[in-house]
Amino acid sequence: MVSRWMALAVLTATFPLGAARADHTPPLDAGFRLMYELRFADARAQFASWQQAHPEDPFGYTAEAASYLFEEFYRQGVLTSEFFLNDEKLLGGVSAKANEAQRTGFMAANRRARELAQQQLRSSPRDANALLALTLSIGMLADYAALIEKKQLESLRYVREAERQAKQLLGVAPENADAYLALGAANYIIGCLPMYKRFFLWFGGIRGDRKAGMEQLRLAATRGHYLKPFAKMLLALAALREKQIDLARSLLTDLNREFPGQPLFVRELALLDKPRGAVASSP
C-alpha cells in the first residue's frame, strides 16, 4: 500500500548528516559508495570498522542496516522501472521471500541503531546525528514491513513516526537535504493514489502531493550527501511516471557517470531508448 513507498525512501532517509559530523565523511562515504556499487560485503566491512572505532555512534549501525535493505531491494528488483511503473507491483510488494540471513542482520543492526539514538536523545534531544539515525532506522523498518513482509498497518505506523522524526531533524538541521528524501517519497507516492484511498488516509493525518513530492526529491537529489544517489534514482522513477523522460535520462546519466558499470543504472538508462508498454498510473 501507500506506506511502502512513503517509507521507501525514508531508507529508507537511509544515511548520515555529513555537515554535522564531518569526522564521519571518509569512512562512511567509502562504505556508502561500495553499497551503491552493489559491493555489499565490502560496504559492511567499512561500516563494521566504523562501529569498532565509534561504538556509541548510532549511525554506524544505521549504515549497516541500510546495506542489508538495499541489497534485498536490489535482489528483489524493487528499484526498477518495471516495479515502480507497474501499479500492481508497486502496491502489491515483492513476490519472493526475503533472504533470512540478511533479515537477521538487518533487524539486529536496526535495533542497535535505534537503541543508541534514543539513548543519546534522552540527554541531548537536539542531537542531529541521533535524530537522523533514528529517522532512517524507523523508515527502514517501514520499508521492510511493507515491501518485504507485506505488513501494511505496521508499516504505516513506522512511516508516520519516521516522518515526524524527519521534520524534527529539519528543524534542528535545515541544511540536511538528505532528510527531504523521506518527505518527498511519501508526498509523491501518496499523491499518486486514487482519491478514494487518499480520502481514508486524510483521517489519519496523512497527506499527499505529487508536485511537492517531486520538489522534495529534487532537493535531496541535488543537495543531499549520502542519500543523493538514492534520491536521484527515486526521482528518475517518479519522472518516468510523470512522463518527464528528459529529466529521467539526465538523472540516470549522472548515476552512470558516477557509478560506471553499475548494472542497475546501466540497465535503466538503456531501457529509456526502448519502447515501453502502457503503464497504468494512479490519477
Burial 70-79 (b: 16+ CB within 10 A, else e): bbbbbebebb
CA dist 18 and 77 (Å) reads: 29
Q: What is the pLDDT of residues 53-82, one digit of tens each?
A: 999 999 999 999 989 999 998 998 888 998
Say whether pLDDT at 102 is over 60. yes
Instruction: Identify the burial level of 221 via C-beta atoms within 10 angstroms of its C-beta, where 0-12 means exposed, 13-18 middle and 19 or more buried.
Output: buried
- pTM for the model stands at 0.82
Predicted local distance difference test score (pLDDT) of residue 282: 38
Domain residues for 58? 2-271
> pLDDT over 70 for what percent of the chain?
78
Spell out the residues 6+ positions from residue 92 whose beta carbon is closer than 8 angstroms to its own: none
Q: Is the pLDDT of residue 18 over 60?
A: no
Task: Tell which wins on pLDDT, 13 or 208.
Answer: 208
Which pLDDT tens digit goes with each residue over 253-264?
999 999 999 999
pLDDT at 192: 66
Which pLDDT score, from 0 to 100, does residue 281 have?
Answer: 41
Confidence of residue 148 (pLDDT cuts 50, 70, 90): confident
The stretch 137-164 carries a mean pLDDT of 80
Residue 121 is assigned to a structural domain of this protein: yes
Query: Residue 277 falls within a domain, yes or no?
Result: no
Q: Is residue 278 part of a domain?
A: no
Structural domain count, the chain: 1
CATH number at residue 105: 1.25.40.10
Instruction: Classify residue 276: in a domain, yes or no.
Output: no
The DSSP code sequence of the chain is -HHHHHHHHTT---S--TTT-GGGHHHHHHHHHHHHTT-HHHHHHHHHHHHHH-TT-HHHHHHHHHHHHHHHHHHHTTTSHHHHT-HHHHHH--SSPPPHHHHHHHHHHHHHHHHHHHHHHHH-TT-HHHHHHHHHHHHHHHHIIIIIS--HHHHHHHHHHHHHHHHHHHHH-TT-GGGHHHHHHHHHHHHHS-HHHHHHHHHTT----HHHHHHHHHHHHHH-STTHHHHHHHHHHHHHHTT-HHHHHHHHHHHHHHSTT-HHHHHHHHHTTS---------
20 band by pLDDT with thresholds 50, 70 and 90: very low
Q: For residue 57, what is its C-alpha cell?
A: 555512534
Mean pLDDT, range 117-137, rounded to an integer: 94
22 found inside a domain: yes
For residue 280, is it within any domain?
no
Residue 21, pLDDT score: 42
